[in-house]
Every structure is written in C-alpha cells, then in structure tokens.
C-alpha cells in the first residue's frame, strides 16, 4: 500500500520538506453570525488552490484557535491571500469574527512523526 493510499488520519499529510506553512493564530470575537459558514467555505476553497498541500485546525473552549495550512511555495500563498473571495473573508474577519489574529509564514525545514496504526 502506498503512503498516499493510506486512510486519512485527521492530521494533515504533507510531502517531505521543504514546503511552506501559514500559521494563523486567532482569538474569536463574540460574533458567531456567519462565522462557521465562512470558515468551512474558506477551507473548501483553499483546498482547490494550486500549491495547496494540507490543512490542520483546532480551536479550544477559550476561543483561541490555530489553523496551519501547508503550501508548496510562497507563490501559492501570495495568490491565495489575493483570492477575491478570501479578501472579502479577511475584511469581514477583522470587522466581525476576530478580536485579534497573527499570521506567520514559515518554511518547513524538517518533519517527523509518530503513528500507532
């Protein structure tokens, strides 16, 4: 069985480094209206962009969330940032859904893992 045919793990699969990570750390506002639809739509849309590799996301009960999207190169990241529907989501995010966020663009140099299966 090839690695790519293994069942999905719930933790994003990526090729061997180097590749890029966009680390999005956010604190939500109290506004829920439209948030979940937007988040779902952005995830779906990101996955269809050229250079997209994988995405992991978690948000705890304290409202702090981390989403890490993995991309082939910086060019793919720049294009996704400028995607017209994504630009609209970024604007609305600042106006309504997030109290604060940080975006960090990082080059993944090494990776290793552990899996009980």
Which residues of the chain form contacts with a second copy (CB under 8 A)? Answer: 9-12, 14, 17, 21, 23, 25-27, 29, 56-60, 62-66, 68, 94, 98-117
**C-beta atoms surrounding 80 within 10 Å:** 19
**C-beta atoms surrounding 55 within 10 Å:** 17
Which residue, 42 or 68, has its beta carbon nearer to a second copy?
68
Tell me the C-alpha distance between 101 and 19, whole Å. 23
Question: Is 106:17 a contact under the CB 8 Å cutoff?
Answer: no
Task: Tell me the closest approach of the beta carbon of residue 39 to a second copy, in angstroms.
Answer: 12
Task: Tell me the closest approach of the beta carbon of residue 84 to a second copy, in angstroms.
Answer: 20
Which residue, 50 or 99, has its beta carbon nearer to a second copy?
99
What is the DSSP track for 3-21?
GGGSPP-SS----SSPEEE
Q: Which tokens belong to 83?
A: 């995607």
Which residue, 17 or 34, has its beta carbon nearer to a second copy?
17
Task: Tell me the closest approach of the beta carbon of residue 57 to a second copy, in angstroms.
Answer: 8
Task: Tell me the closest approach of the beta carbon of residue 19 to a second copy, in angstroms.
Answer: 9
């Amino acid at each position: 069985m090839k690695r790519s045919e293994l069942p999905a793990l719930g933790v994003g699969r990526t090729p061997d480094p180097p590749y890029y990570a966009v680390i999005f750390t956010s604190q939500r506002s109290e506004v829920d209206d439209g948030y979940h639809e937007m988040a779902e739509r952005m995830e779906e849309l990101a996955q269809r962009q050229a250079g997209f590799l994988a995405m992991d996301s978690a948000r705890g009960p304290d409202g702090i969330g981390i989403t890490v999207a993995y991309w082939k190169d910086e060019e793919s990241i720049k294009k996704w940032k400028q995607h017209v529907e994504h630009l609209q989501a970024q604007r609305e995010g600042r106006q309504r859904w997030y109290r604060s966020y940080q975006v960090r663009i990082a080059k993944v140099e090494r990776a290793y893992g552990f899996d009980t299966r």
